[in-house]
Structure 1
Amino acid sequence: MNKVTMADVAKVAGVSKSTVSQYLNKRYEYMGEKTKLKIEEAIEELGYQPNFIARSLKQKRTSMVGIIVANITHFFSTEISRAIEDFCHTHDLHAIFCNADDDPEKEKNYIEMLRAKQVDGLIIFPTGQNNDLYKKMVSQGYPVVFVDRKVENLDVFSVITDNAHATSMAVQHVIEKGHRNIAFVVQPLKVSPRIDRLTGYKKALTDAGIEINSDYIIEASIPDMKNKLEQLFSLEVKPTALFAANDRVFMAVGEFLKEKGIKLGKDLELIVFDNIPFSHLLDSPISFIEQPAAEMGKKAAELLFQQINKEDTPPEVFVFPSRIV
């Protein structure tokens, strides 16, 4: 079968090629409903598929954007990604999602691959370890937005939450309930949210006049976390409250506590910094720091869209407040 062209559609609909082009690009300002209907019926009858490659060459845009997520297993990342995709869908953009697994080499490969595919811009949850590549994109004026994690010494659009302040407020809350032996459990301190949350934890203790005990600060990968928790709960003076720095830490801590028969609300108070989709199903009294993921995702998409459309706005860091639930 011969490939159906725009000229074929125009002939069947009884209109010009430029009118079909306007229809395909959704420029309906001077187009009557009858004309739109004739073009729509012609496209349906002929099975016409627009040539997006040719159109992107003409418009110098592909209408595709890349989203590189640091680790898609975090529910917070999934929520943000959904909000970005929703925005793209309503603005005729196609979103390509990549999962970097917190691996800087994988992230680098995805950035280079997506740019080679001529995507119009990138939204990145950065590993923080490809600074030269980040700087190159910014210096070239390439549309890019960073989400969730800060990159130091780089003037770029960023969307983050108030990690240090929210953590400090949450720890202060359990101090006011009478706790003084409060543990902090986190994955390796390689990215800004984890570092900022530890800063907030230390600030709350210092402000309350509580000495910071390094034995109560557990920094470990998820596979190594159980051994570290064994050491923590083998201390002579055990913690009465524990701060889990994200949802994956929460899962590891939860498995350990269940195995050891440690009861939440009775033996230990738990605070988790992250959005947990099943929190309403839990019987145990747990406090969560909930981030406004949908709002953050929408803002990131808006900022990228503005850059793609050449809106001259200076880069800014947008900080969204979290709330304790």
Structure 2
Amino acid sequence: MHFDLHIGEGANAVVNYILDHFTPALNFIATVIGFVTDTIKAALTGIPMPVAVIVIVALALWRVSWKFALFSLLALLVIVDMGLWERTMETLSLVLAATVIAIVVGIPLGIAMAKSRIVTVLVRPVLDLMQTMPAFVYLIPAAMFFGLGAVPGTIATVIFAMPPVVRLTNLGIRQVNGEFIEAGLAFGCTARQLLLKVQMPNALPSIMAGINQTIMLSLSMVVIASMIGAGGLGNIVLTGIQRLDVGTGFEGGLAVTVLAVILDRITQSLGQRNTAFSFGRFFGARANRGEVPSSATPPAKT
């Protein structure tokens, strides 16, 4: 016995229905996402290359270590030497745009999952589908709904990369120590105060881990999205594949790898309570100059 559920035909019918009845809504979404993407891209590409390198290296020095800052400097100079700086900034702008949108949507959704079992039951299968569907499949409806360019690439990237921040936000809030919540309630916290002042700060490492994974997935998807005109380093890799040019493909892949390592290490450090490097220690601590910290308690008089 053979059953044909016509799943493919059903999917085509849904897409055609959306195109016929929701075109204004799709245009509005494309306008908003295009504004976010274009603004970030203009900001990044408008920064002079030496200034951008100094900012990234200083951020690596502050958040990670001087060794990683030195690595970041050398790696960025390699990208500049390959002539891929502008392409790298385009890719970074797409990653940041997709990450911002994923955070704006994903963190509230994760909070809602932590607060409501019904929301969890409804959203979890959708997240499973988003994580297991092959990445190339997202390009088809994105191109059909929004055409070619950075906007459909950003949308496909958001869909592919958003599940980690949703899941880990949900997990982080659920794993907050019950004693902290009881203490907050004992001090008269409202539900909103309990969320913002107790649960979110304690769930921050988990949330930042989700953001880190979202950034990494965004970076991988942005390269794939070059097939629908997203641009950036993905075009370099795609050109290498089309021409069977190993050198071109390797240069594009190396630039993507460098960007991924820098973003990964810096975003990982943002979830830590203490920075690995202190400019105060580097230039000389106040205590070494004989100053008493403002928080110090003076000795009691006898």
Q: TM-score, normalised by structure 2?
A: 0.25
More strand by share: 1
More helix by share: 2
Greater C-alpha radius of gyration: 1
Q: TM-score, normalised by structure 1?
A: 0.23
Q: 1 or 2 for the larger relative contact order (CA 8 Å, sep ≥6)?
A: 2
